[in-house]
Structure 1
């Protein structure tokens, strides 16, 4: 019997994609409630110790943007079909996951994953847009949270302005498909495990424990990213940003 795949995602809302630009991402998270001492910076190398040493530590989260092959959507559906659907955010959950239901807004979901998990969550201003999103998500189902994000006007306004920033001209049509995708890596403050978070997937991916003295920019995480590049035949059309606190 042929395997039944999860149906393709049907969207009721479309956003213009964000440019992979640390300044754009930083300005957006500051407007939404992240303390101004945190910012995104480019990771210039996965292997050069000297270039990696320029990054302030600790690294709270990594956001990776990578090229999506023609069969990417099918691969995601196949991967999703292997997991049981779990729509709950229980209090003891080790990581907060946001399901993507706004097309082309994968950069936004990567930001949500980056700032609502791990130690970065401690830098959200009380009652800010992001803090309210996080608090509501903790006591809501994945589906309820997804619908709330679609209807969040403050979030949409801030995102719309950010999508027009950067060095490249933004697409005119928000329904225009793009060939890149954002995902996020965080370290859970609950169990110290590294997680890969992608709003297109059914759930987070537990990549295993990270030593307590290491942050997200660990060998384990870098090995995963190197593997993704290798799977694309060495395609270097990848970009990586780190969420850091330069003043520490």
Structure 2
């Protein structure tokens, strides 16, 4: 994912890091802070799907756009591309935006996306040759074959970012829009206890309370590179 973003135009000063624990300080200390975004990978369980349908309910589809939009949200219309949508949410919002190289493919993509409604943004991503090229290069660079768009995959990515007005947002292209999870302090990053309680731990708690035994949760953080 770091390679994908660097190819598109994110500064090499930022990179993704594995988060091995959110409860053991000595393991959490391996992640450079502050973290500007989190990507949570989790199983799409019956518990989660029931929660998602209930929370979305009768909400209207999000139609935000423009420079005054608090967060830039991308609707997912490309099959099995939730990881791609997640990394775009991570760099299109919060502090990470300051690390996008001017005039890069990523800068151009974000500039074009900001003034579009979500449906048109989805078309922009679908038609972007630069995005397709970088995505293909990253997908073939790992040890595991990337799934085809039509494959049935039961793991999903959501992104958590902190906006300029210190709110934690859950960004998921499968939902009806971005989700405001609450106010953080100025000093809280997305790996702070408060942010984790609002976001990542709520996913774990739902599964635990439902008696779910599927522990395929993993977490990566976007923060300062170690290189």
Q: TM-score, normalised by structure 1?
A: 0.83
* Match of residue 244, structure 1, among 212, 223, 226: 223
Structure 2: 5+ residue stretches without partners: none
Cα shift at 1:70: 4.8
Other-structure match for 2:194:
220
* Match of residue 107, structure 1, among 83, 87, 105: 83
Is 1:118 matched with 2:82?
Answer: no
**Residues 164-206 of structure 1 deviation map (CA, whole Å, 9 limit, x = unaligned):** 22222333x43111010001000002x1111010000111111
3-state DSSP of counterpart to 1:100: coil
Structure 1: 5+ residue stretches without partners: 1-24
Q: Distance in 2 between matches of 1:174 and 1:92?
A: 33
Other-structure match for 2:171:
197
Q: TM-score, normalised by structure 2?
A: 0.91
* Match of residue 210, structure 1, among 184, 188, 195: 184
Q: Distance in 2 between matches of 1:227 and 1:144?
A: 31
Q: Distance in 1 between matches of 2:46 and 2:103?
A: 41
Q: Distance in 1 between matches of 2:49 and 2:141?
A: 28
Cα shift at 1:39: 0.4
Q: Distance in 1 between matches of 2:149 and 2:65?
A: 30
**Residues 118-171 of structure 1 deviation map (CA, whole Å, 9 limit, x = unaligned):** 010000011212111211121111111111110001101110121122222333
Q: Distance in 2 between matches of 1:96 and 1:170?
A: 26
Cα shift at 1:73: 5.4
